[in-house]
Amino acid sequence: MKKRLKILQLQPKCDVRSADLQEEIVNAFPLNEFEVTNAYFHGRPDKTGIHSACERVHYFDFTKSERKGLRIRLMWKLWKFCQDEKFDVLITHRFKPLDVMLKLNKFLRIPRCIAVIHGFGDFDRNYRKKTLRKNNSNFWRYVAVSSPVQTYLQELDNGVIKKQVVLINNALNIDKITSLMLPKQVARTQLGLHQNDFVFGTIGRLVGIKGHINLIQAFHKMHHGNPNVKLVIIGEGKERATLEEYIKSNQLEGVITLTGEIINANRFIKALDIFVLPSLKEGFGMVLLEAMAGKIPCIASKTGGIPFVLADKGLLINPSQVQNLSQAMKHYFELSDKEREELGKQLHSRLQNNFSILTYRESFKTLASPYKTPK
């Protein structure tokens, strides 16, 4: 029997969700050809009890102090683990696992190394650019999740890295996600919404870069005279107090709902009439694919990977332009049900045609197979 290739997929934190693309990468590798290990620097399955479906899972449980600074103890433990396992392929996500393995692989010499770069900013700091250029080798490929991220990586170039950048669009397992979505009536009931409300909504961490304060201000402008129009923001984060203060000071309680964190929040997509993504910066915008799967019309910021995702099938607004965002929301609100339904269908078709999960899996399988080193 042919020996299976051993793959290590290394992630900074255990956080398994229904739309998790790391799990879809695992699905790219048939069990008769590959043995995949998902490993996490810290964290274990949360209270939802959702575990990785990977054949093998390893929790390093590195402490906060081990994950900071020079990470000497972390690197020692990780080196020993890799030495014992003799992996053939490495896949990293986010900067810390990449940073550590760039250094360790000078000694481990795992022949096929794939770093998935999910957005912008990982290499904005000069230290990180220098680390990448100093420790890069022909073993590595750098996967950009969208064309704009691909351009960002290529512009870091030192001549060699540019040739090692590969584009693999993020994708969505449409059948899986839609099977988890609650019917509109059920989703609205669970969110405390009325069936005759017109609902704008978004999903994302409550942090400044996600632009939620702009969304609330834009909604406030168009809400007057439309008492049945509601806004739902699903997510949690350090900006919550700022958002709550605006809502309270403008008497918008009961009109704007901050739900807090909801695990697998994409279940509630169909509660919305319009999905809005007001980010100031966004590498891709996976949540847009989830809205597209639910056939929900989308308004989003014209930044980063978002125009690549929506193309001309959504309404794009320059970031931080509150007045323009408000006008866009009013425009979509005033469309007929039939017009909004058609917009949702067009987005769903774009999702099917451009972000296939089968293409995604096949691309990673091909990349993990033996490849020529760049000249």
Residue 11 in domain = yes
**Residue 199 belongs to what domain range?**
174-354
Concatenated DSSP letters of 122-187: TT-SHHHHHHHHHH--TTEEEEESSHHHHHHHHTT--SSGGGGEEE----B-HHHHHHHPPPHHHH
d(Cα 321, Cα 278) in Å, to the nearest integer?
Answer: 9
The reply to whether 201 and 343 lie within a common domain is yes
Give residue 47's pLDDT: 61
The reply to whether 11 and 133 lie within a common domain is yes
Q: How far separated are the first and last CA of the chain, in Å rounded?
A: 34
Give residue 374's pLDDT: 43
The reply to whether 202 and 217 lie within a common domain is yes
Domain count, the chain: 2
d(Cα 340, Cα 348) in Å, to the nearest integer?
Answer: 12
Mean pLDDT by 10 residues, the chain (375 residues): 88 80 92 94 76 88 91 95 96 95 95 92 84 90 91 76 90 94 97 95 95 97 87 96 96 94 93 97 91 98 93 95 96 96 97 93 90 49
Residue 374 in domain = no
Residue 123 in domain = yes
d(Cα 366, Cα 361) in Å, to the nearest integer?
Answer: 9
The reply to whether 162 and 254 lie within a common domain is no
Residue 195 in domain = yes
Evaluate whether 243 touches 168 at the Cβ level (below 8 Å): no
Residue 64 in domain = yes
The reply to whether 163 and 221 lie within a common domain is no
Give residue 53's pLDDT: 79
Residue 373 in domain = no
List the CATH number of the domain containing 302.
Answer: 3.40.50.2000
The reply to whether 153 and 229 lie within a common domain is no
Evaluate whether 309 touches 299 at the Cβ level (below 8 Å): no
Residue 10 in domain = yes
The reply to whether 105 and 226 lie within a common domain is no
The reply to whether 329 and 255 lie within a common domain is yes
d(Cα 268, Cα 199) in Å, to the nearest integer?
Answer: 12
The reply to whether 17 and 166 lie within a common domain is yes
The reply to whether 196 and 137 lie within a common domain is no
Residue 218 in domain = yes
The reply to whether 304 and 341 lie within a common domain is yes
Beta-sheet strands, E only, within 20-111: 34-42, 56-59, 89-93
The reply to whether 128 and 215 lie within a common domain is no
